[in-house]
Structure 1
Amino acid sequence: MAKQIKDENGNVYVQKKKFYQRWWFWFLIVVVAIFWGINSLGNNDQSTSSSTATSSSQAKSSSKKKEVNPLTKVYKVGQTASYKGYEIKVNSVKFSQGDDFNKPDSGKQYVIVNITITNHTNESQDYNPYDFKLNADGNNTYVTEIVTNVDNTLEAGSLDKGAKVTGNLVGQAKTSAKKLQLQYKTSIWNDNTVKFNLK
């Protein structure tokens, strides 16, 4: 309430408070300060999260640049190809003219490829020798030959998470073939292929 002052003549004057002495002025200051503080915190969180998101997206993009697409790389004997957690390694390659019971076709030789398949996915994965082909100078053939002097041929099966299997794939290729590859087809639904140079 405004203060009233009487002078010596009996006149009454009202002494008004200055605006910065009024309660509403300080209330307004407090409200503005609260909104400013909340806004500052929100902007800090957004800038922190956006900088975190930016740095993580930069890290992802740089790691993607460093990662080689397993479908475009051609692997060598001894290297491991990883496709969506499914790993294949060609351990060794041997060539054979067969024995008294088994002979390759004329002008050809047996190609014996020893591989290891490892399942690093989170679910059981099937494997099958028919997923693999031998490519000799552009000619694709299956690696499902049965040769009596070759043990441990790879058969079809299923791998639990973390399990692995090693076995031999046997195919035929011309002895004169200059380019020889083992090719793994990742699915019957597409043409995605992982390739291993055998020569």
Structure 2
Amino acid sequence: MLDVEGKDMKKTLVFLAGLFVILGALLACGASSDNTGTSTSSSTTSQTSQQVKHFKVGETVKVGDTWEVTVNSVKTSNGDDIIKPDAGNTFLIVNVTVKNISSKEQNISSLLNFKLKDKDGTEGKDALLTSGVTPAPNGKIAAGDKSKGDLTYQVSASQKSFTLAFEADLLSSGQTVWDLSI
């Protein structure tokens, strides 16, 4: 029979073991990816320097050995009958395609892998629109498969220039950035 200190020690060890398993899984998911990328209109190549290059709407960018990402289009919306942006704001809708170019299934999260900022560095607030948008790429993507959808953000209506960053590996540095204008 364990005393109170023994039970606390056992709980702590179980917690730490679980934490290490989760961290190990996260590291294994992103261990082979490189977050820098380059693109040309007809082909994709990897970028070897750590300098962040900015891409344009329509460019397909190879990100490490895991993803090809394309920002297809950018538009604004004033919402619908049910959902409206806050006063002085608008919804920014960024249509993207992500393709898993690795040899195994990968996970993608529109909330974790993508970040939008305006020219002042203010992050766009993630928004949920019910009409006029395609669901954002989220979940498991099989090797060789792709997913296309809309990332939606609430931004200041006065802002016209943004950057969208894609981070393939949340535990490593580096990101791929697109310049967006409306």
Q: TM-score range by the shorter chain?
A: 0.5 to 0.7
Counterpart in the other structure of 2:179: 197
Assess if the C-alpha contact under 8 Å between 1:133 and 1:142 holds in 2: no
Is 1:187 the counterpart of 2:173 in the alignment?
no
CA deviations 1:15-57 (Å, max 9, x no partner) are xxxxxxxxxxxxxxxxxxxxxxxxxxxxxxxxxxxxxxxxxxx
* Equivalent in the alignment of 2:102: 121
**Whole-angstrom distance in 2 between the partners of 1:142 and 1:88:** 21
Matched residue type, 1:177: Q
| Rg comparison, structure with higher value | 1
Aligned to 1:90: 71
- Indicate how the Cα distance of structure 1 residues 78 and 84 shifts in structure 2: closer, same or farther if over 3 A, else same: same
Output the CA distance in 2 between the equivalents of 1:155 and 1:122.
19
Q: Is the 8 A contact 2:75 2:93 kept in 1?
A: yes
Segments of structure 2 that go 5 or more residues without pairing to the other structure are 1-44
Residues 173 and 165 of structure 1, relative CA distance in 2, 3 Å threshold:
same
CA contact (8 A) 2:85 2:154 kept: yes
Aligned residue pairs: how many?
Answer: 133
- What fraction of aligned residue pairs are identical, expressed as a percent? 30
Q: What secondary structure is seen at the aligned counterpart in 2 of 1:198?
A: strand
Q: 1:108 aligns with which of 89, 104, 120?
A: 89
Counterpart in the other structure of 1:139: 122
Q: Which runs of 5+ in 1 are unaligned?
A: 1-65
| SS of residue matched to 2:86 | coil
1:76 aligned to 2:56? yes
Larger relative helix fraction: 1
Calculate the aligned-residue CA RMSD, in Å.
2.0
Once residues 125 and 138 of structure 2 are traced to their aligned partners in structure 1, the CA distance between those partners, rounded to angstroms, is 14
The one-letter amino acid paired with 1:129 is S
- What TM-score do you get using the length of structure 2 for normalisation? 0.66
Cα 1:183–1:67 shift into 2, 3 Å: closer
Cα offset, 1:178, TM superposition:
4.2
* 1:134/1:80 CA distance change after superposition, 3 Å: same
How many angstroms does 1:136 deviate by? Answer: 1.1
Q: Deviations over 1:56-106 (max 9, x none)?
A: xxxxxxxxxx96458611111100111113111011111011122111112
SS in 1 for 2:80: coil
> Runs of 4 or more off by more than 4 Å in structure 1?
none
| 1:156 corresponding residue in structure 2 | 138
